[in-house]
Amino acid sequence: MTWKHFSMEQAAARFDTSRDLTIGIEEEFQIMNAESLELVDRFEELYVASRPQMGVHVCGELIASEIEINTHKCFDLREAEADLKTKRGQLMSAAREIGVGLAASGTHPFSDWKKQRILGTAHYREVEERLRYLAWKNLSYGMHVHVGVRGRERMISVFNAMRGYLPYFLALSANSPFAEDCYTHLHSTRAQIFTRSFPRCNIPGAFKDWSEYSSFVDLLFDTRSISDPMQMWWSIRPHPWFGTLEIRICDCQSDVSRTMGVAGLTVAVLAQLAEDYDNGGRLPVLNTNQNEENLWRATRYGLEGFMVDFLTGREVSTPDAIRQLADYAGDQWAKLGGSRCLETVYDMLAKGNGAQRQIEIYEKTGDIREVFVDVVARSVFDYAAA
């Protein structure tokens, strides 16, 4: 679908009729040589091999050494986890069939971006034409969470408030301390490569209402800033075709349980904000400067740093800040079928996330490839046979 066949009036109607708290999860995988673990341009082959089982739930994503899977529309977190395991299993099976490897993390730690090929679709040819170097250098792999939100004005209010929690979600999901054969000392190098480089990709500003948001989108089209709404790569965006809020800040996770922990926190917080709105509560809205500060802290230090609590004006350790956020979501976890997801969040806070595990292995071995061997092993669990 393109903007020629859509409009902001139709987008408004989608949100006004959207079903609340549906869940969709997208994951972006690295396609590798199974022996050297270098990225290889074999998307087209893997796509053909996986389509018979996966249908529309597998697609391309900018470069030919990357492939994306997505769940169907799910109605609680248990259903989303079961479907994601099925989809991962189907993708792993197709990869084995054609003899390629797969990995799930925020970056590939040593492959050269200069050797990657941009997909030849009209959409990605236009992205390359517009962005050039930024598109070429973008070896990054994320996970996205779609959550249904009913009502255009309600969605804008929840969108405004969710912006302030994106750094918390990034810190929990951080899984990319290596890139270009270098220990970057960033816990989410992916956030720096993609979120801080692509246009219209950071945490967006707040909008006072749907009209202001709608007018801004139309202006971007009218001034040829964008030709497709998917060129608004914000870290959270209203999805005009699905009637969802799409949270796009997080690194891809190496195993499904952690994907679901991160997704569960995202959905539970959004659900609580929506409930607060329905009960007449005033939702907290941080400004761009405040969000920028915590976004940097999450990118650089992940779970080992501190967040600024701008309501109290003091620092809070990032794990404690995330615990408080999980507690804020309260009863939403059970309502969403997310009790196991909550346990995973607490486990990640206690034992470390993906970035911390990678750094720990590197400090023991001094070998980036040994780090990646562990990432690959954690990514390729045979869900189809489980």
Q: How far apart are CA 118 and CA 124, in angstroms?
A: 7
Provide the phi-psi class of 307: left if phi over 0, else alpha when psi is between -120 and 50, else beta.
beta
Number of compact structural domains in the chain: 1
Provide the phi-psi class of 272: left if phi over 0, else alpha when psi is between -120 and 50, else beta.
alpha
Note whether residue 69 is domain-resident.
yes
- Residue 345: both structure tokens together: 């969040």
Note whether residue 193 is domain-resident.
yes
Give the whole-number percent of the chain exceeding pLDDT 70. 97
Note whether residue 384 is domain-resident.
no
- What pLDDT score was predicted for residue 386? 45
Note whether residue 153 is domain-resident.
yes
Closest by CA position to 154, among listed 310, 269, 271: 271
Note whether residue 383 is domain-resident.
no
pLDDT at 383 over 90: no
- Kindly list the distances between the CA atom of residue 160 and the CA atoms of 141, 144, 220, 284, 305, in Å, as whole numbers in the listed order: 25, 18, 20, 8, 25
pLDDT tens by residue, 59-96: 999 999 999 999 999 999 999 999 999 999 999 999 99
- CATH number of the domain bearing residue 181: 3.30.590.20
pLDDT tens by residue, 17-66: 999 999 999 999 999 999 999 999 999 999 999 999 999 999 999 999 99
DSSP, collapsed to helix, strand or coil, labels residue 243 as coil
Q: How far apart are CA 252 and CA 267, in angstroms?
A: 17
Q: How far apart are CA 348 and CA 361, in angstroms?
A: 17
Domain that holds residue 172: 3-374
Give the whole-number percent of the chain exceeding pLDDT 90. 90
Q: How far apart are CA 325 and CA 283, in angstroms?
A: 14
pLDDT at 176 over 60: yes
Note whether residue 386 is domain-resident.
no
Q: How far apart are CA 310 and CA 179, in angstroms?
A: 32
Q: How far apart are CA 36 and CA 369, in angstroms?
A: 10
Contacts 24+ apart (CB under 8 A), 362-368: 362/177, 362/178, 362/183, 368/109, 368/110, 368/178, 368/181, 368/183
Note whether residue 50 is domain-resident.
yes
Note whether residue 381 is domain-resident.
no
